[in-house]
Structure 1
Amino acid sequence: MTTERDMLNLLLDRYTAIRRGTIADRWVRAEHVKSSLGYADGDRIADFVAGDKYGGGHAGEKLALHGHEVKVSRSDWLTELRDPNKAEAIKKYMHHWWLVVPDASIVKPGELPEGWGLLAPDATGKLRAKKSAPRLSPEEPPLAFIISLMSAAARTAHREPLHRDAPVTFGRRYAPHCGVCMTASPCSIHQPRAAADLASSAA
């Protein structure tokens, strides 16, 4: 059975794009972003937020925050539909808002709310847009949300090696390097699985 963790791992992969020969990643990733700081009962959580640093534009007007709601079953999705205000607590700060499901059939025709996009795996297992998320006109986020997002991004960066190895990038002379710290690949900190495999094969 597909879990939320499985879907978050697919989102980590979708929102990773390291420029060749550098550690310049197009995306900033954050899992489980709270709507505010603290432990208030009314806090809402976005399952995943990705910040696009390369949007460009004359004044950065194409930079964007993509928010994601992950649902792994039909019943999970119906529960979300019964409380449409839940997502709005964070969606109002996002430039794009996505529903992420393991199978597009979880969402029946006409159920996707206005302004939402839909992501689901294709035949290769990669997340693809079944319906594009339109660009929204978000509210300016309060400082509490900005700090909450920063905190979630930092936690996510520390957790990533638990779930996947960092991508490989290639420096001068096409030598493989770690896509996070640019040391020779495999890096024992950010690419622990590849490093363990290399040590095992050399033993």
Structure 2
Amino acid sequence: MKTADVRVALRSRFCSPEWALFFEVGDATGVQHNRWADAVAINLYPSRGLEIHGFEIKVSRSDWLRELKNPAKSAPVQQFCDRWWVVAPDGVILDGELPPTWGRYEAQASGKLRQVVAAPKLEPNEINRAFVAAMLRRASATDEDLVKAAVSAEIQRLRQADEQRVAKEIDARTRRFKETQEAIAEIEAISGVEISHWGKSEQIGRAVRAVLTSGVLETWGGIEGVKKRAAAILAQCDEALALFPAAEAKADECNT
């Protein structure tokens, strides 16, 4: 699980209108800045005490062990919080390792948080202007982050749409090419002419056109018409030959 996944889970759990959530909140701004929390959430309901919750996000065992070596580093922000939490996936934190002033949320693969140990109520210091300025700075950055995330999501959506259109076009052209190849193979098998190896494509085209326009491939009536035209041509040939009796006799003498 990544830090971004844990942030999504925090946004889902600590969301408006009840909560205002900020990430990477320092204890101050400028040169007064000393430490920061991974997240801070402020409850906006007076009936619930307007509590401030601080969070440390740990996504690896090694990261958590580094935190345990120096737990006091969270104090600059924790001093303003009513409750303090660590948020980590299962297996990062072992039993007995949680500091007594901390609560624990388990970040689940489903994108939700499961409370494992309730955070005890602390006695926070009054927040000062420096801490307020740090939260307001992160509020502004959050707006920018949301805009960037929205733009990135739209770019990704458009890219996926383009990829889908290209894939469909490639599939359609591939299918048409395959159908054309199959048709050529069928014509070659029937005609005995290898079209792909015979460069006289114009002659092939003329021959095909002559056959198609002759009516040979049409109905019985079309074929009967071809037969009648052929008979008429033969009759004309006989009439023409009858005009040349001498030539015909001489041809007979030669044949004998």
Measure the CA separation in 2 of the matches of 1:91 and 1:68. 9
Measure the CA separation in 2 of the matches of 1:108 and 1:72. 13
Residues 61-140 of structure 1: pairs in structure 2 closer than 5 A: 62-103=49-90, 105-122=91-108, 124-140=110-126
Match in the other structure for 1:50? 41
Q: Is the 8 A contact 2:5 2:111 kept in 1?
A: no
Measure the CA separation in 1 of the matches of 2:88 and 2:147. 24
Task: Give 1:150 shift.
Answer: 1.4
Gaps of 5+ in 2: 166-256
- Matched position secondary structure for 1:56: helix
Q: Is the 8 A contact 1:96 1:116 kept in 2?
A: yes
The one-letter code matched in structure 2 to 1:27 is: W
Q: Is the 8 A contact 1:28 1:53 kept in 2?
A: yes
Task: Give 1:154 shift.
Answer: 2.2
Match in the other structure for 2:193? none
Question: What whole-Å deviation, never above 9, does each CA across 1:110-139 have from its counterpart, x for those lacking one?
Answer: 110012111112463301211111221101
Q: Is the 8 A contact 2:6 2:107 kept in 1?
A: no
Measure the CA separation in 1 of the matches of 2:148 and 2:89. 22
Question: What whole-Å deviation, never above 9, does each CA across 1:44-97 have from its counterpart, x for those lacking one?
Answer: 01011111102416xxxx111111001111110010011111011111100111
- Matched position secondary structure for 2:30: coil
Task: Give 1:33 shift.
Answer: 0.5
The one-letter code matched in structure 1 to 2:132 is: I
Task: Give 1:43 shift.
Answer: 1.3
**Higher share in helix:** 2
Quick one: which of 6, 10, 30 aligns to 1:38? Answer: 30
- Matched position secondary structure for 2:97: coil
The one-letter code matched in structure 1 to 2:118 is: S
Which one is further off, 68-77 or 117-126? 117-126
Q: Structure 1 residues 161 and 16, CA, compared in 2 at 3 Å: closer, same or farther?
A: farther
Q: Is the 8 A contact 1:44 1:87 kept in 2?
A: yes
Question: What whole-Å deviation, never above 9, does each CA across 1:117-175 have from its counterpart, x for those lacking one?
Answer: 11112463301211111221101122111111111122113312444x6xxxxxxxxxx
Q: Is the 8 A contact 2:6 2:111 kept in 1?
A: no
Higher relative contact order (CA 8 A, sep 6+): 1
Question: What whole-Å deviation, never above 9, does each CA across 1:17-38 have from its counterpart, x for those lacking one?
Answer: 4xxxxxxx22111111011111
Which one is further off, 78-87 or 125-134? 125-134
The one-letter code matched in structure 2 to 1:52 is: N
Match in the other structure for 1:141? 127
Measure the CA separation in 2 of the matches of 1:101 and 1:55. 29
Gaps of 5+ in 1: 18-24, 166-188
Q: Is the 8 A contact 1:30 1:154 kept in 2?
A: no
What is the CA RMSD across the aligned residues, in angstroms?
Answer: 2.6
Task: Give 1:39 shift.
Answer: 4.2
Which one is further off, 73-82 or 121-130? 121-130
